[in-house]
Amino acid sequence: MILSKFKSNFLVLILLFFSLSLRASETQILTSLEEHEDILRQSLFEASIYSCKITIVSPFISVAALKADGLIHAIGDAVSHGAIVEVITDYNLDRDQAGKLRPRSVAGRDLLRKVGVHLIEAYRVHSKIIIVGDFSLVVGSFNWLSAVRDSSSPYCNQETSTLLSGEGIEERIAQTKEALDKLKLVEEEDRSFFKTLEIAKNGNPKAYLALCKKHKNSLRYKEMISQSLSCFMKNLNSLGFMGNLKNLAEIAIGLKGLGVDILPQIFDRYDGDFTDFRALLAFAEHMVRVDMERVDEFLSNNVDGLVEAGENMCDELEALYELELYKTWSYTAGLSNGVSNGIVFDRLK
């Protein structure tokens, strides 16, 4: 398990290095279909790696474009890794003369919503933009979610876009967002959900629990809340190990009451990460409140390598026993050759 996790993290580091190398250029002109396809996938990848928000402004939406080159899979993957994917499209441009959405647009919108995209319809949208976090901006003529993906097609046009990044990009992104904020939006029921989710992902457990209570009957929203947990854990690092665990436990307890189990994600996050017994006991202290039996099983599989010989283990064994983590306690005692269980029992009397 630890080796597999190491390989996975190593691959992410390689891809992250590739991502940073692309971002080093402050201006890049995109002219070919392949360049536009690559930068869209790259933008989704960066949003996935950094678990940040990506905004895609595309006046038209076509199911054929979304299915090309696994684009819808890339979008869903970004959402599953904690990114908020926001798509802004025009309300009228995909409609026929009778005001009805064309079938290709209906199917495309349904696909986007299915993978967890925040789809926003607005009036008089003709911009073609990608914004990734506060570090990448693409502006041009390419219709990101509807353009033909076959360069040999008679409907494939010459397109030009500019990728901007590097120093000063935050101000340009802020200006672009300000312009988008002035759009007249078609009211959507779920807009407040995504705004609150963004607050929650930045390390606010109360926002998480408020979302769960409000949308407890929505399987789609509960799945998205669960998926965004990886981003929440990253943003809680500033609170330190103890602060992180306390907030995670609160969320796990709240979600458990609503039928959402996030312990597997928490276990995966901390599997093989304990470097000393202090860290292991800190995890135990908070997580036993969620599910004592499963936490006991998880910790018993993570105690190897932490055991010290001799009476130094008495304090740790006593702490495990008082937390009622008997499986971990027994396994630890068995590994501690120099520790007499009788000594520990005497101290517990």
pLDDT > 60? residue 36 = yes
pLDDT band for position 19 (cuts 50, 70, 90)? low
Q: Which residue pairs, CB below 8 angstroms and at least 24 apart, start in 300-303?
A: 300/327, 300/328, 300/331, 302/270, 302/271, 302/272, 302/274, 303/328, 303/331, 303/332, 303/335
pLDDT at 298: 95
Structure confidence at residue 6 (pLDDT): 44
Burial letters for 320-329: b for 16+ Cβ neighbours within 10 Å, e otherwise? bbebebebbb
- Which tokens hold the place of 194? 């995504």
Overall average pLDDT of the 186-197 stretch: 75
**pLDDT surpasses 60 at 338:** no
> How much is the pLDDT for 102?
95
The per-residue pLDDT for range 289-315, each reduced to its tens digit, is 999 999 999 999 998 888 765 455 778
Average of pLDDT values for 163-184?
91
pLDDT digits (tens, 9 = 90+) for 211-225: 878 887 887 787 777
Average pLDDT of every residue of the chain: 82
The full set of domain ranges for the chain reads 23-188, 193-348
Q: Return the pLDDT at 187.
A: 63
Note the pLDDT tens digit of each residue in 59-72.
Answer: 999 999 999 878 99
In the CATH hierarchy, which top-level class contains the domain 23-188? alpha beta
Confidence class for position 152, pLDDT limits 50, 70, 90:
confident
Which H helix or E strand runs over 313? none
Q: Enter the pTM of the model.
A: 0.66
* 20/36 Cα distance (integer angstroms): 18
